[in-house]
Amino acid sequence: MDFTIQVIFTGLGVAVVREPKPGSADPGGVDLLLVDMSKEADVMKRHLPRLIFQLDDLLETAEDRYDNPHFAAVGSPQVEIDLSGEDCKLAYMVNGSSSAPANGANGTSIQGLLSSQEAVEWIPEVKSALGIADLVVPDGSLVAPYIARVRLPPGTLSSRRLLMHSDGELAGFTFGADPTPHPLAEQLIWTREGVSGVEVGGFKVLKPFSLDAELRDQRREPAVVQLAVSNLPAGALPKRFGMPSHFPMYGMCSKAGTMPNDVLPLRADGVTPSGACPPLRMSISI
Protein backbone atom coordinates (compact mmCIF):
# COMPACT_ATOMS: atom_id res chain seq x y z
CA MET A 1 0.00 0.00 0.00
CA ASP A 2 1.12 3.56 -0.66
CA PHE A 3 1.70 5.92 2.24
CA THR A 4 3.18 9.28 3.19
CA ILE A 5 6.63 9.56 4.74
CA GLN A 6 7.56 12.58 6.86
CA VAL A 7 10.82 13.59 8.52
CA ILE A 8 10.44 16.10 11.36
CA PHE A 9 13.62 18.12 11.90
CA THR A 10 14.28 20.24 14.98
CA GLY A 11 17.21 21.42 17.06
CA LEU A 12 20.68 22.82 16.40
CA GLY A 13 21.08 22.10 12.72
CA VAL A 14 20.70 23.29 9.13
CA ALA A 15 18.50 21.90 6.34
CA VAL A 16 20.41 22.39 3.08
CA VAL A 17 18.13 22.20 0.03
CA ARG A 18 20.10 20.89 -2.95
CA GLU A 19 18.47 22.39 -6.05
CA PRO A 20 19.50 20.78 -9.37
CA LYS A 21 20.54 22.99 -12.25
CA PRO A 22 18.65 22.61 -15.57
CA GLY A 23 19.66 19.37 -17.23
CA SER A 24 21.32 17.98 -14.11
CA ALA A 25 21.14 14.22 -13.62
CA ASP A 26 21.11 14.76 -9.86
CA PRO A 27 17.48 15.08 -8.66
CA GLY A 28 18.56 17.08 -5.62
CA GLY A 29 17.10 16.68 -2.17
CA VAL A 30 17.70 17.94 1.36
CA ASP A 31 20.66 17.36 3.67
CA LEU A 32 20.00 17.69 7.40
CA LEU A 33 23.23 18.82 9.10
CA LEU A 34 23.44 18.45 12.90
CA VAL A 35 25.94 20.71 14.70
CA ASP A 36 28.46 19.03 17.01
CA MET A 37 28.12 20.16 20.63
CA SER A 38 29.26 16.86 22.15
CA LYS A 39 32.26 18.34 23.98
CA GLU A 40 30.20 20.84 25.99
CA ALA A 41 30.16 20.13 29.73
CA ASP A 42 26.96 22.13 30.28
CA VAL A 43 24.01 19.81 29.59
CA MET A 44 21.97 22.75 28.32
CA LYS A 45 24.62 23.43 25.65
CA ARG A 46 25.45 19.80 24.86
CA HIS A 47 23.04 18.61 22.20
CA LEU A 48 22.07 15.02 21.38
CA PRO A 49 21.78 14.00 17.69
CA ARG A 50 18.99 11.46 17.43
CA LEU A 51 16.81 9.59 14.92
CA ILE A 52 13.48 8.42 16.35
CA PHE A 53 10.65 6.37 14.87
CA GLN A 54 7.83 4.08 15.99
CA LEU A 55 8.64 0.38 16.26
CA ASP A 56 5.28 -0.48 14.66
CA ASP A 57 6.47 1.03 11.37
CA LEU A 58 9.57 -1.19 11.21
CA LEU A 59 9.43 -4.18 8.88
CA GLU A 60 10.08 -7.50 10.61
CA THR A 61 12.92 -8.24 8.20
CA ALA A 62 15.14 -5.84 10.15
CA GLU A 63 18.06 -7.82 11.57
CA ASP A 64 19.27 -5.46 14.28
CA ARG A 65 18.06 -5.38 17.85
CA TYR A 66 17.04 -2.01 19.25
CA ASP A 67 17.81 -1.64 22.94
CA ASN A 68 15.82 0.39 25.45
CA PRO A 69 12.80 1.33 23.31
CA HIS A 70 10.65 4.07 24.79
CA PHE A 71 6.93 3.46 25.29
CA ALA A 72 5.45 6.73 24.08
CA ALA A 73 2.14 8.35 24.91
CA VAL A 74 0.95 7.48 21.41
CA GLY A 75 0.80 3.85 22.58
CA SER A 76 3.64 2.45 20.51
CA PRO A 77 7.28 1.79 21.48
CA GLN A 78 9.70 4.25 19.93
CA VAL A 79 13.21 3.46 18.72
CA GLU A 80 15.90 6.07 19.37
CA ILE A 81 19.16 5.89 17.40
CA ASP A 82 22.27 7.89 18.33
CA LEU A 83 23.40 9.68 15.17
CA SER A 84 26.82 10.73 16.50
CA GLY A 85 29.30 10.38 13.63
CA GLU A 86 26.67 9.02 11.24
CA ASP A 87 26.24 10.01 7.59
CA CYS A 88 23.04 8.17 6.72
CA LYS A 89 20.51 8.30 3.93
CA LEU A 90 16.77 7.82 3.45
CA ALA A 91 15.42 6.44 0.17
CA TYR A 92 11.83 5.79 -0.87
CA MET A 93 10.22 3.61 -3.51
CA VAL A 94 7.58 4.90 -5.94
CA ASN A 95 6.19 2.52 -8.58
CA GLY A 96 9.19 0.25 -8.19
CA SER A 97 11.77 3.02 -8.60
CA SER A 98 14.01 4.30 -5.82
CA SER A 99 13.55 7.93 -4.73
CA ALA A 100 11.62 8.89 -7.82
CA PRO A 101 11.04 12.68 -8.01
CA ALA A 102 7.49 13.82 -7.42
CA ASN A 103 5.36 13.98 -10.61
CA GLY A 104 8.42 13.24 -12.72
CA ALA A 105 10.06 16.55 -11.78
CA ASN A 106 13.40 17.14 -10.13
CA GLY A 107 14.10 19.11 -7.00
CA THR A 108 12.50 19.83 -3.66
CA SER A 109 9.39 22.00 -3.56
CA ILE A 110 8.68 24.65 -0.95
CA GLN A 111 5.16 24.59 0.45
CA GLY A 112 3.14 27.48 1.84
CA LEU A 113 2.50 31.17 1.29
CA LEU A 114 3.58 33.80 3.79
CA SER A 115 0.07 33.74 5.20
CA SER A 116 0.25 30.02 5.92
CA GLN A 117 0.93 28.77 9.43
CA GLU A 118 2.98 25.97 7.90
CA ALA A 119 5.11 28.03 5.51
CA VAL A 120 8.77 27.07 5.32
CA GLU A 121 9.57 30.81 5.58
CA TRP A 122 9.06 30.50 9.34
CA ILE A 123 12.33 28.53 9.47
CA PRO A 124 15.12 31.19 9.48
CA GLU A 125 17.30 31.35 6.38
CA VAL A 126 21.05 31.16 7.03
CA LYS A 127 22.15 34.27 5.10
CA SER A 128 19.15 36.60 5.03
CA ALA A 129 18.14 36.04 8.67
CA LEU A 130 21.35 35.20 10.51
CA GLY A 131 23.81 36.95 8.19
CA ILE A 132 26.06 33.92 7.63
CA ALA A 133 27.23 34.01 4.00
CA ASP A 134 29.93 31.32 4.26
CA LEU A 135 28.23 28.35 5.89
CA VAL A 136 30.28 25.15 5.93
CA VAL A 137 28.49 22.65 3.66
CA PRO A 138 29.96 19.14 3.38
CA ASP A 139 30.49 17.99 -0.19
CA GLY A 140 31.63 14.41 0.12
CA SER A 141 32.16 13.05 3.62
CA LEU A 142 30.95 14.56 6.88
CA VAL A 143 33.15 17.42 8.16
CA ALA A 144 33.35 19.64 11.24
CA PRO A 145 31.46 21.37 12.77
CA TYR A 146 28.80 18.73 12.12
CA ILE A 147 28.32 15.54 14.10
CA ALA A 148 25.82 13.92 11.74
CA ARG A 149 24.15 14.24 8.36
CA VAL A 150 20.86 12.74 7.19
CA ARG A 151 20.44 12.85 3.42
CA LEU A 152 16.90 13.01 2.05
CA PRO A 153 15.71 12.70 -1.57
CA PRO A 154 13.34 15.23 -3.20
CA GLY A 155 10.25 16.09 -1.19
CA THR A 156 8.12 18.99 0.01
CA LEU A 157 9.23 21.31 2.82
CA SER A 158 6.96 23.03 5.31
CA SER A 159 7.10 24.05 8.98
CA ARG A 160 5.16 23.33 12.15
CA ARG A 161 4.66 24.61 15.72
CA LEU A 162 4.90 28.40 15.57
CA LEU A 163 6.33 29.91 18.75
CA MET A 164 3.67 31.64 20.86
CA HIS A 165 3.65 33.86 23.95
CA SER A 166 2.08 32.66 27.18
CA ASP A 167 -1.11 34.61 26.39
CA GLY A 168 -1.49 32.77 23.07
CA GLU A 169 -0.27 35.65 20.91
CA LEU A 170 2.05 34.81 18.02
CA ALA A 171 5.66 35.64 18.94
CA GLY A 172 7.62 37.94 16.63
CA PHE A 173 11.41 38.04 16.28
CA THR A 174 13.81 40.44 14.58
CA PHE A 175 17.07 39.48 12.87
CA GLY A 176 20.03 41.83 13.33
CA ALA A 177 19.36 45.47 12.39
CA ASP A 178 16.20 44.63 10.41
CA PRO A 179 13.20 45.81 12.50
CA THR A 180 10.75 43.61 10.57
CA PRO A 181 9.18 41.03 12.92
CA HIS A 182 9.13 37.40 11.81
CA PRO A 183 7.38 34.35 13.26
CA LEU A 184 9.54 31.35 14.11
CA ALA A 185 8.57 27.70 13.75
CA GLU A 186 10.09 25.00 15.92
CA GLN A 187 10.10 22.21 13.33
CA LEU A 188 10.92 21.83 9.65
CA ILE A 189 8.89 19.09 7.95
CA TRP A 190 10.03 17.10 4.90
CA THR A 191 7.19 15.18 3.22
CA ARG A 192 6.81 12.75 0.32
CA GLU A 193 3.39 11.32 -0.53
CA GLY A 194 2.54 8.18 -2.45
CA VAL A 195 5.55 6.02 -1.57
CA SER A 196 5.41 2.24 -1.46
CA GLY A 197 8.45 1.69 0.76
CA VAL A 198 11.17 3.49 2.72
CA GLU A 199 14.71 2.39 3.58
CA VAL A 200 17.16 4.14 5.90
CA GLY A 201 20.80 3.08 5.64
CA GLY A 202 24.42 4.16 5.41
CA PHE A 203 25.14 3.72 9.13
CA LYS A 204 28.60 2.76 10.35
CA VAL A 205 27.42 -0.37 12.19
CA LEU A 206 23.62 -0.50 12.15
CA LYS A 207 22.18 -2.39 9.21
CA PRO A 208 19.72 -0.66 6.86
CA PHE A 209 16.10 -0.89 7.93
CA SER A 210 12.78 -0.49 6.12
CA LEU A 211 9.52 1.15 7.16
CA ASP A 212 5.95 0.92 5.94
CA ALA A 213 2.38 1.73 7.06
CA GLU A 214 0.87 -1.77 7.11
CA LEU A 215 0.00 -1.76 10.81
CA ARG A 216 -1.40 1.75 10.56
CA ASP A 217 -3.67 0.53 7.75
CA GLN A 218 -4.88 -2.41 9.87
CA ARG A 219 -5.77 -0.03 12.69
CA ARG A 220 -7.53 2.38 10.31
CA GLU A 221 -5.00 5.06 11.21
CA PRO A 222 -3.74 7.71 8.76
CA ALA A 223 -1.11 6.19 6.46
CA VAL A 224 1.61 8.60 7.55
CA VAL A 225 4.96 7.25 8.76
CA GLN A 226 7.04 9.80 10.67
CA LEU A 227 10.69 9.91 11.67
CA ALA A 228 12.16 12.58 13.93
CA VAL A 229 15.68 13.93 13.39
CA SER A 230 16.59 16.08 16.38
CA ASN A 231 19.60 17.78 17.93
CA LEU A 232 18.19 19.10 21.19
CA PRO A 233 19.87 19.91 24.53
CA ALA A 234 20.84 17.01 26.76
CA GLY A 235 19.02 18.70 29.66
CA ALA A 236 15.46 19.94 29.88
CA LEU A 237 14.08 22.59 32.24
CA PRO A 238 10.62 22.19 33.83
CA LYS A 239 9.40 25.41 32.27
CA ARG A 240 6.72 25.92 29.69
CA PHE A 241 7.91 29.33 28.57
CA GLY A 242 11.39 30.40 27.56
CA MET A 243 13.30 32.01 24.70
CA PRO A 244 15.37 30.13 22.11
CA SER A 245 19.00 30.80 23.07
CA HIS A 246 20.93 28.59 20.66
CA PHE A 247 21.31 30.94 17.68
CA PRO A 248 24.81 32.24 18.66
CA MET A 249 26.04 28.63 18.46
CA TYR A 250 25.62 28.74 14.67
CA GLY A 251 28.74 30.93 14.53
CA MET A 252 30.83 27.74 14.47
CA CYS A 253 29.19 26.85 11.14
CA SER A 254 30.69 29.94 9.47
CA LYS A 255 34.01 29.33 7.69
CA ALA A 256 35.31 32.66 9.03
CA GLY A 257 33.70 32.27 12.45
CA THR A 258 31.18 35.04 11.73
CA MET A 259 28.84 35.59 14.67
CA PRO A 260 25.20 35.32 13.63
CA ASN A 261 22.81 38.24 13.77
CA ASP A 262 21.00 38.70 17.05
CA VAL A 263 17.59 37.02 17.09
CA LEU A 264 15.47 39.11 19.46
CA PRO A 265 11.83 38.81 20.50
CA LEU A 266 9.51 41.81 20.29
CA ARG A 267 8.26 41.04 23.80
CA ALA A 268 10.30 40.10 26.84
CA ASP A 269 7.86 37.57 28.29
CA GLY A 270 8.27 33.87 27.63
CA VAL A 271 7.70 31.89 24.50
CA THR A 272 6.55 28.27 24.45
CA PRO A 273 8.08 25.71 24.46
CA SER A 274 11.14 26.44 26.58
CA GLY A 275 13.28 23.76 24.90
CA ALA A 276 12.65 24.99 21.36
CA CYS A 277 15.70 25.06 19.07
CA PRO A 278 14.45 26.09 15.62
CA PRO A 279 16.79 24.84 12.88
CA LEU A 280 18.00 26.93 9.94
CA ARG A 281 17.60 26.44 6.20
CA MET A 282 19.47 27.37 3.03
CA SER A 283 19.50 26.43 -0.66
CA ILE A 284 22.43 25.58 -2.95
CA SER A 285 22.61 24.75 -6.66
CA ILE A 286 24.11 21.43 -7.66
Of residues 209 and 100, more confidently modeled: 209
* pTM for this entry: 0.92
Is residue 115's pLDDT more than 80? no
Structure confidence at residue 65 (pLDDT): 76
Q: How high is the pLDDT of residue 76?
A: 79
- Segment among 27-31, 102-106, 265-269 with least mean pLDDT: 102-106
Query: Residue 113 above 60 pLDDT?
Result: no
Higher local confidence (pLDDT), 118 or 103: 118
User: Is pLDDT of 163 > 70?
Assistant: yes
Contact 49, 138 (CB under 8 A): no
In this prediction, residue 99 carries a pLDDT of 63
Domain residues for the domain of 163 are 3-285
pLDDT in tens, 120-147: 999 999 999 999 999 999 988 999 999 9
Confidence label for 74 from pLDDT (cuts 50, 70 and 90) = low
- The string of pLDDT tens digits covering residues 212-253 is 999 999 999 999 999 999 999 998 877 788 888 899 999 999
From 123, 172, 125, 159, select the one nearest 271 (Cα to Cα). 172
pLDDT band at 7 (very low <50, low <70, confident <90, very high): very high
Mean pLDDT of the chain: 89
C-alpha to C-alpha distance for 248 and 82, rounded to whole angstroms = 24
pLDDT on residue 114: 45
* 12-21, 54-63, 108-117, 196-205: least confidently modelled range: 108-117
Residues in CB range of 15: below 8 A, 6 or more apart: 9, 30, 31, 32, 33, 123, 157, 188, 190, 279, 280, 281, 282
Cβ contact 248:259 at 8 Å:
yes
Number of independent structural domains in the chain: 1
The phi, psi pair for 189, rounded to 5°, reads: -115, 125
Total residues found in the chain within this entry = 286
Give the C-alpha separation, 279 to 108, whole Å.
18
Q: Where are the alpha helices (DSSP H) in 97-153?
A: none
